[in-house]
């Protein structure tokens, strides 16, 4: 299964808004930069709005605008706004109570995956939208 | 999109084989521990066999057996065997050449994602199958 590109699209959206600070930017403009459908952009803008990162204005001169300073928005904030909690999933099949390995595996894997996710998240926390624009 | 559980299933499979060292274990036995279909198990066993982690024996008394010591097999080895290269994907839409942000974004995100993936992989390298069984 391919990895999820929603975080990349969200980062691109926020970078576009950061490049036009204090303006309301239309989803059509953002979509032209990301080179995708405005529906995809609006869906992610909705999650960013709920998380307090973006605000929206309806109408002809409307659009979206950043509510926070781009050097205070990290990739980890965007990931959280999208509700992307887990990079690794434990399989959902219930443990087989007759098998010691089966009974034990989910807890052991859960701890290992949690450490890996925290390490990745710590790196995402190090990268701000300002840095993405300046890199 | 839900995170991928193939790594969890692969770790569970290898832990079952490790618990029955030097025996050929049937995919039906492994499937009963993971509590899933034997087809799912065989597909992942195939990847683990190609990676030299597992060997298979056909026939009635056949099955799968570990080729390497469980304390030398890490979660990172299993992830590599499954070809799970990326935890984060860059969107595939081509950059819009008229937009500076668009032209720049994929490279900047690529570097940030690569650092996060390496941090997660370093954690996966710290966990062996023996440790999963003992945890």
Averaged pLDDT for residues A61-66: 92
Distance from CA of B39 to the nearest CA of A (A): 15
Task: Round to whole Å and give the CA distance between B9 and A91.
Answer: 6
Q: pLDDT for B60-99, tens place per residue? A: 888 999 999 999 999 999 999 999 878 999 988 888 898 8
In this complex, do B36 and A9 lie within 8 Å of one another by their Cβ atoms? Answer: no
Task: Please spell the DSSP secondary structure of B45-60, one letter per residue.
Answer: HHHHHHTTSEEEE-ST
Q: What is the DSSP-derived secondary structure letter of residue B94?
A: P
Look up residue A77 and give its two tokens: 């904030």
Q: pLDDT for A13-36, tens place per residue? A: 999 999 998 899 999 999 999 999
In this complex, do B123 and A135 lie within 8 Å of one another by their Cβ atoms? Answer: no
Task: Round to whole Å and give the CA distance between B118 and A92.
Answer: 26
- CB-based contact, B19 to chain A, within 8 Å: yes
Is pLDDT at A111 greater than 60 in this prediction?
Answer: yes
Quick one: pLDDT at residue A30? Answer: 95
List the 87-116 stretch of A: residues with Cβ below 8 A of B: 87-96, 98-102, 104-109, 111-113, 115-116
Is pLDDT at A1 greater than 60 in this prediction?
Answer: no
In this complex, do B116 and A121 lie within 8 Å of one another by their Cβ atoms? Answer: yes
In this complex, do B35 and A116 lie within 8 Å of one another by their Cβ atoms? Answer: no
Query: In what helix (H) or strand (E) does residue A127 lie, and over which residues does it extend?
Result: none
In this complex, do B19 and A123 lie within 8 Å of one another by their Cβ atoms? Answer: no
Q: Report the complex ipTM.
A: 0.90
Query: Mind listing the domains of chain A with CATH numbers?
Result: 6-134 (1.10.10.10)
């Amino acid at each position: 299964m391919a990895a999820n590109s929603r975080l990349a699209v969200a980062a691109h959206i926020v970078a576009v808004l950061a490049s036009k600070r204090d303006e309301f930017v239309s989803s059509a403009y953002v979509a032209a930069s990301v080179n995708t459908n405005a529906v995809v952009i609006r869906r992610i803008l909705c999650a960013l709005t709920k998380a307090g990162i973006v605000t929206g204005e309806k109408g002809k001169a409307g659009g979206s605008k950043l509510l926070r300073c781009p050097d205070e928005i990290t990739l980890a904030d965007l990931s959280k706004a999208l509700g992307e909690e887990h990079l690794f999933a434990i399989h959902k099949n219930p443990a087989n109570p007759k098998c010691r390995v089966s009974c034990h595996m989910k807890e052991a894997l859960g701890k290992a995956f949690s450490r890996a996710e925290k390490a990745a998240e710590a790196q995402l926390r190090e990268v701000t939208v300002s840095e993405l624009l300046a890199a």
